[in-house]
Amino acid sequence: MKGIFYGIGVGPGDPDLLTLKAYKVLEKVDLVCIPKSRMEKESVALNIVEKALERKLDILELHFPMTKDQAELARNWDSNTEKIVEQLNQGKSVALITIGDPLLYSTYSYVMKRILKNHPEIKVETIPGISSAFACASELNVILTEEEESLGIVPANADKEYLLKAIQSFDNLFLMKVAKSYDLILEILEEVNFHGQAYLISRCGHPDQLITSNLQEMKGKEIHYLSSMLIKKGVK
Amino acid sequence: MKGIFYGIGVGPGDPDLLTLKAYKVLEKVDLVCIPKSRMEKESVALNIVEKALERKLDILELHFPMTKDQAELARNWDSNTEKIVEQLNQGKSVALITIGDPLLYSTYSYVMKRILKNHPEIKVETIPGISSAFACASELNVILTEEEESLGIVPANADKEYLLKAIQSFDNLFLMKVAKSYDLILEILEEVNFHGQAYLISRCGHPDQLITSNLQEMKGKEIHYLSSMLIKKGVK
C-alpha cells in the first residue's frame, strides 16, 4: 500500500503555533522532507518542529536551489517529487514541512501539483499553518480587517509599479519578504502621502523577533530575509 | 493582580486546527467568553473547542446583537468589554474565542481595541487561528498563491461595485460570507468573462462540509451563512 503524502505548515516561528493536526501527524509520520534552497543552511521549519515534538524524526533533505531558469526549476521540482514518490511507493507516510502555510508561496505547492497530476493514486493531505500575516498581527495586537475592509497578501520581491498598485488597491496590506525592497517601499509610501499605520516585523515568533513602527529607523539597514510589513491605510 | 486577557482563534471547524498555544491556554484559563449574536443560537466556536478539550469550561456568554445602528453597536461593545474587565480585575484569566482568526472580521477586535485603549494596565495576548481561507485551500488541495500572485481576503456582504472591483484587483480572491450575495457573484463572474477556477465551500471542516466547483448548481439555492468562495484567476 502506498503511504499518504502530507504537506504541513508549521507557522512562522513559535513552535506553539503548530496546529494539533500538524503535531499529531508529525508525531507518527515515517519520513519528514525538508526543502532546502542551500544544503548547508539550517532549516527554519525543521527548527520549529524539533522544538515542538518529543520524538526524533527521520529526515530527508531535498535540494531546491533558487534560480531564475524556469526549466531548471521544473527539473528540480520533478526530480524531488519523484524522490518523495519513491518513499510513498514503499508504503511510507511522508510529510513535507514548510514555514507559514503550505499553499501560500511555498515549495510544497509545486510538489503537490505534480503528485496530484502524475500520481493520482496517492492520497495527498494538506494541513494548513498559521501564516505570518496572522501571527504578526497577533504579536502587534493590531486588527487585520474590520467591517468591509480588504486584506491583501502580496510578495514584496516585485517592481515599483507592482508594489505601488498593491499599496493603492488594499485597505490593509501584508507585504512578504520585504528585505530587498524595503527602501523602495518607504519611498512609495512617501510618494502616495501615506498616513496610516505601518509596521516592520522580522523573524516573527522567533527568540530574536524584531517589531517596529518607526520605519525610517531601519532605512538603509540590513533587514533579515524573514521580514514582512503590515500596512494599514484606514485606522479607526 | 489582574488576569491576562486572551483573544483566541479556534479555526473554522476542525477541532484539530486549534494551535498548540490555543489548546494550552484553553486547558488552564479561568473563564471563556463566547460572543453571541443571538443568545438562543449555539456557538460554533464553543462547539469546536469542546470537541478539542478534555476539561469542562467555565463559560460567560456575551450578547453582541447584530444591528446597523452604530451607536447601539458601540454601546454593546463597551458594556461587554466592561463585563470582561470586571472578571480580569478579580484576577481571573479570561479568553474570548472566535472562529477563524481573531483579528480578521471578528468581534474580538472591538473588545481588544477597547481594553488596549481604556485599560492599558491589562495584559492582552492574541493567539492567531487558522483562517477559513487557508483551511479551505487545504481541503481543496488548491494553491492559494505562487510566484508574484496576490491573495485578497474580502467580505462578500457588499455591493456589486465593491465585489466587481475585488474580482478585478486580485489574482486570487477569498470571498467570505457569500450566502446573501452568491447569485450576484456568479453574475459578476459572467460579466467579466471569468475563465479561472472557482469553488464554493460551506462549513469548512465541519462534518457536513460542502465543497463544489460546479457553481451554477447552487444558484438560487439556500446557502449556509458559513460559506466562502475561492476564486483563482490564473491557473497554471
Q: What is the pLDDT of residues B41-69, one digit of tens each?
A: 999 999 999 999 999 999 999 999 988 89
Note the pLDDT of residue B158: 79
| Structural element, H or E, at residue B127 | strand B124-127
For the cut 90, the answer to whether the pLDDT of residue B185 exceeds it is yes
Measured between CA atoms, how close is B44 to chain A, in angstroms? 18
3-state class (DSSP) for residue B65: coil
Residue B235 is predicted with a pLDDT of 60
ipTM above 0.90, yes or no: yes
On the question of pLDDT at A234 being above 90, the answer is: no
> Is the CB of residue B125 less than 8 Å from the CB of residue B6?
yes
User: Cell numbers of B32, please?
Assistant: 471563556
Pick the residue from chain B with its C-alpha nearest to A177.
Answer: B148
Nearest to B145 among A105, A130, A151 (CB): A105
Q: Which residues of A touch B15 (CB under 8 A)?
A: 20
> Domain segments of chain B: what residues?
5-127, 132-232
Q: Which residue of A has its CA nearest to B170?
A: A152
CA–CA dist B30, B88 (Å, integer): 10
Average pLDDT over residues B140-157: 94
pLDDT above 70 for B220? yes
pLDDT at B52: 97
Are A19 and B130 within 8 A, CB to CB? yes
For residue B126, which residues of chain A lie inside 8 Å, CB to CB?
137-138, 141
Q: Classify domain B5-127 at the CATH class level.
A: alpha beta
Among A31, A36, A10, residue whose Cα is nearest residue A21: A10
Which residues of chain B have a CB within 8 Å of the CB of A164?
none
Handedness of CA B204, B95, B107, B19 (dihedral sign): negative
* Residue among B20, B109, B135 minimizing CB distance to A20: B20
**pLDDT at residue B1, as a whole number:** 81
Annotate B94-124 with DSSP letters as a single string: EEEEESB-TTBS-HHHHHHHHHHHH-TTS-E
pLDDT-derived band of residue B236, with 50, 70 and 90 as boundaries? low
For residue A15, pLDDT beyond 60: yes
CA distances from B105 to A92, A150, B162 (A): 41, 10, 17
Q: Who's near A195: CB < 8 A, 6+ residues apart? A: none
The sheet with strand B94-98 has its strands ordered as B59-63, B31-36, B94-98, B5-9, B124-127
- Helical H runs in A182-234? 182-191
Please give the mean pLDDT across all residues of chain A: 95
B9 contacts on A by Cβ (under 8 Å): 134
Please compute the mean of the pLDDT values over residues B98-124 and round it to a whole number.
97
CB nearest B138 (choices: A113, A126, A157): A126
pLDDT bin (cut points 50, 70, 90) of residue B16 is very high
The partner residue sitting opposite A169, judged by closest CB among B11, B21, B169, is: B169
Q: What percent of chain B has pLDDT over 70?
A: 99
Under 8 Å CB-to-CB from B213, ≥6 apart: which residues? B197, B198, B199, B200
CA nearest B132: which of B176, B85, B183?
Answer: B176
Cell numbers at B233, concatenated: 484567476
B145: closest chain A residue by CA: A104
Grid cell 470586571 is found at: B86
CB contact under 8 A, A153 and B148: no
Cα distances (angstroms) measured from residue B133 to each of A186, A198, B16 = 29, 24, 16
Mutate which of A49, A53, A113, A138 to disrupt the B interface (most B C-beta within 10 Å)?
A138
Nearest-by-CA chain B residue for A24: B16
What grid cell was written down for A83? 524522490
Which DSSP helix (H) or strand (E) runs through B18?
A: none
CB–CB of A150 and B127 under 8 A?
A: no
Specify the 3-state DSSP secondary structure of A139: helix
- CB of B185 closer than 8 Å to CB of B207: no
Note the helical H segments in chain B.
20-28, 44-52, 70-89, 107-118, 132-140, 160-169, 182-191
Residue A90's pLDDT is 97
- Assign A179 a pLDDT band (cuts: 50, 70, 90): very high
Assign residue B134 a region: left if phi > 0, alpha if psi is -120 to 50, beta otherwise?
alpha
Tell me the nearest-neighbour CA distance from A167 into chain B, angstroms: 12
Mean pLDDT, chain B, rounded, equals 95
Would you say A221 and A183 are in contact if contact means Cβ atoms under 8 Å apart?
no
The pLDDT value given to residue A196: 94
Mean pLDDT of A20-24: 98
* Amino acid making up residue B199: Y
In the sheet that holds A124-127, the strands lie side by side as A59-63, A31-36, A94-98, A5-9, A124-127
Answer yes or no: is pLDDT of A126 > 90.
Answer: yes
User: Under CATH, to which class is B132-232 assigned?
Assistant: alpha beta
A155 contact residues in B (CB cutoff 8 A): 145, 147-148
Burial category of B60 from C-beta neighbours within 10 Å (exposed 0-12, middle 13-18, buried 19 and up): middle
Question: pLDDT-based confidence at A236, cuts 50/70/90?
Answer: low
Determine the average pLDDT of the residues in A162-181.
94
pLDDT at A187: 96
- Decide if B190 contacts B176 (C-beta within 8 A): no
- Does the beta-carbon distance from B104 to A19 stay under 8 Å? no
User: Is residue A193 helix, strand or coil?
Assistant: coil
Same CATH fold assignment for domains B5-127 and B132-232: no
User: How many other C-beta atoms are found inside a 10 Å radius of the C-beta of residue B140?
Assistant: 18
The pTM of the full predicted model, rounded to 2 decimals, is 0.96
Strand ranges of the sheet holding A151-155, from the earlier edge strand across to the other edge: A210-212, A197-202, A227-232, A172-176, A151-155, B151-155, B172-176, B227-232, B197-202, B210-212
- B165, three cell numbers: 472591483
Contacts of B158 in chain A (CB under 8 A): 148
Contact between A148 and B155 using a beta-carbon 8 Å cutoff: yes
In this complex, the residue of A23, A130, A150 whose CB is nearest that of residue B128 is A130
For residues A22 and A10, is the Cβ–Cβ distance under 8 A?
yes
The β-bridge partners of B141 are none
Whether A20 shows a pLDDT value over 60: the answer reads yes
Confidence of residue B157 (pLDDT cuts 50, 70, 90): confident
